Structure 1
Amino acid sequence: MLQIATSDFVLGGVAAMGAVVITNPLEVIKTRIQLQGELTARGSYVKPYKGVLQAFTTVIKNEGILSLEKGLSPALCFQFIINSFRLSIYTHAVEKRWVHDKNGNISYGRGLVWGAIGGVVGSYCSSPFFMIKTQLQSQAAKEIAVGYQHPHTSMRNAFSRIYQENGIFGLWRGSMASVWRATVASSVQIATFGKAKALLSENNLVTQPTCLSFCSGLAAGSCVSVAITPLDVITTRLYNQGVDVHGRGLFYKGWMDCFFKILKSEGVYGMYKGFWAIYLRSAPYSTLVLLFFDELVALRDKYASQ
């Protein structure tokens, strides 16, 4: 049992790493869009990024195509850690039938709970990598720079700078926003995936295993993008803001302060900045990571039975 749990932990991380390589460019675009016009009323600032497609061409024109993979190293580390925890925890809960109701069916509510538990554990442990990923992805050419520009030259340099200036706690600055974001994202994604998979299979709508995983993942990603955009904006702002000599944020005191300041200065529109980039990333990302995970688990079970 311990060997299977360890295997699920590793497979969850590997599946996520495979997905993030493909979707990281959208994460870069999403971060830039969320940071432009920070705490500024709509229509009163210059928008270097006017939409997802235009943002892609703008970044490539000013920084080169490789800049679309900025922050890839910490993104890979972040995704490995968070998904290792959340997918292995949820899979273990399914195997123990903790997500099933008295009739033996997968309970959406219980799935939400176990998805959230995995998200909380994984997001807190991986928080430093999420912060560094955000700060590296926000780095841009002067002509199209938005948000606070950190002087990091690499993931290693970022860790060193943050630790030297703010200590170990500086690496977990803004982590509570990340925990809330991951709690919602993980619970919605995993619970929706499990429920969609059960409904499609039980009603014989989709029976081919790979296609079933793909369709279930697509449904999960669509729901996630709607649910997490405001929390994602808050997380991006908190992680990217500069800090004073005491390690305190220059703009926001915490996630609640960030929420109200964005709402007051940018309105509801500000809470949904980057929605389409998040949707275009979340739908294929959820589809790919859950598809890869299902396929890897099936491959493991196949060889284990031989």
Structure 2
Amino acid sequence: MSDFIIGGLASVGTILFTNPLEVIKTRLQLQGELAVRGTYDVRYRGIVHAFVTVIKNDGWTGLQKGLVPAMYFQFTINSIRLGMYNAAVNRQWTRTKDGGESFGLGLFWGAAGGAVGAYCASPFLMIKTQLQSQAAKNVAVGYQHHHTGMFNAMKQIYLSGGLAALWRGSIASIPRASIGSGAQIATFGKTKSMLREHNLVVQPTLNSMCAAFLAGCVVTLAITPPDVISTRLYNQGLDANGKGLLYSGWWDCFFKIAQSEGLYGLYKGFWASYLRFAPHSVLLLVFFDELLALKQKYQMRHKTVNKA
């Protein structure tokens, strides 16, 4: 159980630094929704311009929109996925027959933990997305929900569609989390092992940082298309029957984006995602490793005291 809590705490510490980039990424992903490139008003012309625009129109606090549900989301999903992965590592379920670290098994356990965590944390991801998309009218992109905070959003969503409404789009979040989590954790574990085996980087913290940086690069390439789809599905408005105004599901969203916006549409916000995911991956995985190391030191000290 402690490994699950450590995974959650590591992510909460990380999101404080990376949430502004998450706000920028969300705005860029919603800009020009289902419109051919060059036919819509560009409110955010790149990352730097987006930062300036958000601060100018929403103030500095605009960069931390959705922070509370983001922290709940990160704690929930990462406590589950990192806890499951570390449990698998401790039981040697990620090892090959010859004792080496298996990329495939790491990918499997990372993806499995990501899928379970994503489903459990889905309400927080939806609310985070909707709060981060809210903006002043002259720079608004995507459907504009009118929530005053996380608990107000929960209340509005629940009253409009019951408990099931809080898990709307949860199935769509599973591919995003499975691909991202699997790619991140498998790359992290295999890279750490390779760096140690070849005596390239053996100092524990530096070893974790190098492996986490590469994992962040890989996860950005893998996760951006499903992340765009997830953002669109969570943020879309609903009709009187509770059905999406633009998309009926994951594949419908994928094909509509591909048809109207092309490959560019599926990779909208890529650089913001990279600047968000790469440091997020480094901070999260390094925090996780450091907290595990502190736990192990405490356990060793506790055993020594008991023996004495």
State the alpha-carbon separation in 2 of the partners of residues 29 and 18 from structure 1.
Answer: 19
Alignment of 1:28-67 (within 5 A): 28-67=23-62
Match of 1:21 in 2: 16
RMSD between aligned residues: 0.5
- Give the one of 278, 284, 298 matched to 1:303: 298
State the alpha-carbon separation in 1 of the partners of residues 20 and 39 from structure 2.
Answer: 27
- Which blocks of at least 5 consecutive residues in structure 2 are unaligned? 302-308
> What secondary structure, in the 3-state scheme, does the structure 1 residue paired with 2:13 have?
helix
- Give the one of 216, 219, 234 matched to 1:239: 234
Alignment of 1:273-292 (within 5 A): 273-292=268-287
**How many angstroms does 1:169 deviate by?**
1.0
Please report the TM-score for the alignment, with normalisation by the length of structure 1: 0.98
State the alpha-carbon separation in 2 of the partners of residues 228 and 152 from structure 1.
Answer: 27
CA deviation vs aligned residue, 1:232-283 (integer Å, no higher than 9, x gap): 0000000000101111100000010000001111111100000000000000
Match of 1:8 in 2: 3
Q: Does 1:258 align with 2:288?
A: no
CA deviation vs aligned residue, 1:139-190 (integer Å, no higher than 9, x gap): 0011100000001001000000000001111111111111110000000000
State the alpha-carbon separation in 1 of the partners of residues 69 and 242 from structure 2.
Answer: 22
**How many angstroms does 1:63 deviate by?**
1.1
Q: Does 1:124 align with 2:119?
A: yes
- Give the one of 107, 117, 136 matched to 1:112: 107
Return 130-139 or 199-208, whichever deviates more: 199-208
- Give the one of 176, 179, 200 matched to 1:181: 176
State the alpha-carbon separation in 2 of the partners of residues 121 and 286 from structure 1.
Answer: 19
Amino acid at match of 1:71: G
| Cα contact 1:8–1:84 (8 A) shared by 2 | yes
Match of 1:85 in 2: 80
State the alpha-carbon separation in 2 of the partners of residues 178 and 267 from structure 1.
Answer: 21
| Cα contact 1:166–1:246 (8 A) shared by 2 | no
State the alpha-carbon separation in 2 of the partners of residues 117 and 33 from structure 1.
Answer: 29
Amino acid at match of 1:229: T
> What secondary structure, in the 3-state scheme, does the structure 2 residue paired with 1:171 have?
helix
State the alpha-carbon separation in 2 of the partners of residues 128 and 58 from structure 1.
Answer: 28
> What secondary structure, in the 3-state scheme, does the structure 1 residue paired with 2:214 have?
helix
**How many angstroms does 1:208 deviate by?**
1.0
- Give the one of 190, 197, 201 matched to 2:196: 201
Match of 1:3 in 2: none
- Give the one of 127, 151, 158 matched to 2:153: 158
Match of 1:146 in 2: 141
- Which blocks of at least 5 consecutive residues in structure 1 are unaligned? 1-5
Question: Aligned residues: percent identity?
Answer: 61
Please report the TM-score for the alignment, with normalisation by the length of structure 2: 0.97
Match of 1:270 in 2: 265
Aligned residues: 301
